[in-house]
Amino acid sequence: MKVIFNPDGKTVDVPPGTSVLEAATAVGLRLNSPCGGEGICGNCRILIPQNPPPPGAADRKFISKEDLKRGLRLACQTEIVRPLTIIVPYESRALEQKILSETKEGATLLNPAISKHFFSLAPPSISDQRSDTDRIREALEAGGLSAQIPLPLLRDLAQSIRAGDFKFTAALAEKRFLAIEPGDTTNKNFGVAVDLGTTTVVGYLLDLTKGRQLAVAARTNPQVPFGDDVVSRIASVQKDPTSLDQLQSLASSCINEIIDELCQKADISSQAIYELTLVGNTTMSHLFLGINPTSIAQAPYTAVVRGAVNVRAGELGVRISPAGNIYTMPNIAGFLGGDTIGVALSSGIYQSDGIKLAVDVGTNGELLLGTSERLICCSCAAGPAFEGARIACGMRATEGAIERVRIDKDVHLSVLGGGEPVGLCGTGLVDAVAGLLDAGIIHPTGKINQREELSGLPPALQERIIPREKGNSFLLARTKGREPTADGPRARDILLTQRDVRELQLAKGAIFAGLQVLKKELGVSDDDIEELLLAGAFGNYLRPESARRIGLLPPIPSARMKFIGNAAGAGAKLVLLNKDFRQIAERLSQEIEYIELAGRSDFQQIFAEAMLFPGE
């Protein structure tokens, strides 16, 4: 039975009776199935748009009637009995600790900046005493190439080319030598694309001879102790200029750890990685390059560098091939960086005829609105609430995080990894507030109501409202005892506090207000927006209905919404796989119009309104 998985376009033949989950695994697609295919977690949802098989009991348990009608099924419960075309939503893909590490790749013609060439030269003799560089230059010219050999490679050039008896492979980046290796190593040409997030760093290892992704690895950004958000990291540099060096080397060493893991997973040498492309917000890329970013945080918030920077890996302490190239994506402005260019590139919004809106919610929220004719953008200081920080029981979306909350007569939780809950991550927070708004427990102003104001409420919910001095809290879960203490595991309450709701209001208000300004600037309404593209780890796990309910996203129906995964990281891959995208990136970084919210007299008013929750 032939099965096609979209949007990946992967095809596999399987015997009848194979489950969709098994078939997906067979082609290297890893679905989110913490229960191991038992049909009890409800995570491995796939869409069979045409003639879906009748739903089973587990399907009916986890999937709404409406969605069942659309063809949504659990992959582990669906047996293949005839050829199928299956769509795997991004939400259903298994990801390293729920960090979004897979990216949609557009149809990319492979055209990397790095090329490798094998040479077999005549050795020198007393009648041919050409220098080694002349010998190589002339061989290059014979092949229509020309390139400079930088000093670090010159230093043991004679030894390198003699080690292989004048047979060697050169790795070239445009007009520059990156490496010279004995023998023919043209089949070993790798690159790493890095998304250097304020909170999370993701690296992708790509085979530049085949355009194939070999491995993914992620880490928490070790700069976090210097501040949760970019402004506090800049402040730490301002307070103590020596921390700039520390922040730079923390970024490099984090990337080195990721590279080590990637190399181990794919069983390659880091010396065969000749280029690393990096996206990040303007502050993150400045810090990675060791550029003092203090001007970004002071009015009028200017970046030091807008354009792409190319620099030798050795200069930044990044352990790929030492003369290898590091390319950082161009920025747009002080608060809109190469990550947004990455989103613009990989989402294709820059080529769109109709109006599209791309939303990338991380510690900062970036919004892009427009068409191929005109693209405007802004940056919203959402803060780290969506990543679980500054939330009383907040945590990142790792094992033990409550990632989904449904409220009817009681509270129903879905926990990452399926075990006991440890804390609340961003999507769970949005779900919880949305559910509590529906239940009337949270007032549109954001206040958690008193128990006595909610007499009609099911008792199970009423009991969860816990009065506190600075406003009420809502009990999401009482753990049986996971918290390790000196006296053994301890039970612990997972609460949503009044302050958490306020943090969320600030975060969602910042993004929603930014969107209002962009729409006003472009003169469009929600109805004019053809497609809402949700990017980023958080965006991809967000329940659209919850996001709309709390007023984080505009009331655009799900049919016009698209999850585009780690679009910033996908942009880093695009420029790695095809250097032509670097020209587009450069053009976009100059053409995308940056709307400075701080510069608008109407912003405070819009922001104040945006902090309220929709009234129902």
Report the interface residues with a second copy, using CB under 8 A. Answer: 124-134, 151, 154-159, 162, 244, 289-292, 294-295, 299-307, 309, 311, 315, 331, 333-334, 594, 596, 598-599
Backbone dihedral region of 463: left (phi > 0), alpha (psi from -120 to 50 degrees) or beta?
alpha
Q: Bridge partners of 361?
A: 365
Three-class DSSP labels, 524-541: CCHHHCCEEEEEHHHHHH
Q: How far apart are CA 423 and CA 48, in angstroms?
A: 34
**Closer to a second copy at the Cβ: 108 or 238?**
238
Smaller CB distance to a second copy: residue 298 or 605?
298
By beta-carbon proximity to a second copy, the closer residue of 150 and 418 is 150
136 to 274, 311, 433: CA distances (angstroms): 20, 24, 66
Residue nearer to a second copy on the CB measure, 224 or 244: 244
Residues 6+ apart with CB under 8 A from 446: 501, 502, 505, 611, 612, 613
Token pair 């013609």 in the structure block, residue: 109
Residues 6+ apart with CB under 8 A from 271: 179, 320, 321
Residue number, 110 or 158, with CB nearest to a second copy:
158
Q: Shortest Cβ distance from residue 271 to a second copy (Å)?
A: 19
Length in residues, the chain: 616
Q: How far is CA 406 from CA 14, 47, 203, 427, 450, in A?
A: 37, 22, 34, 12, 21
Q: Copy the structure tokens of residue 182.
A: 């004995």
Alpha-carbon span 476 to 423, nearest angstrom? 10
State in angstroms the smallest separation of the CB of 131 from a second copy: 4
**Residue 152 CB, nearest distance to a second copy (Å)?**
8
Q: Which is nearer to a second copy, 80 or 113 (CB)?
A: 113
CB of 312 to a second copy, least distance (A): 9
- Closest CB to a second copy among 118 and 301? 301
CB of 282 to a second copy, least distance (A): 9
List residues bridging with 309 in a β-sheet. Answer: 328
The CB-of-128 to a second copy minimum distance in angstroms stands at: 8
Three-class SS state of 337: coil
Q: CA-to-CA distance for 16 and 12, rounded, in angstroms?
A: 12
Which residue lies nearer to a second copy by CB, 45 or 306?
Answer: 306
CB 219 within 8 A of CB 257: yes
Nearer to a second copy, 485 or 601 (CB): 601
> Which C-beta is closer to a second copy: that of 128 or that of 353?
128
Least separation in angstroms between residue 300's CB and a second copy is 4
Dihedral Cα 346, 351, 352, 356, nearest 10 deg: 50
CB of 492 to a second copy, least distance (A): 46
Kindly state the smallest distance separating residue 113's Cβ from a second copy, in Å: 17
Q: What is the DSSP code string of 427-482?
A: HHHHHHHHHHHHTTSB-TTSPBPPGGG-TTS-HHHHTTEE--TTS-EEEEEE-SS-
Min dist. Cβ of residue 547 to a second copy (A): 30
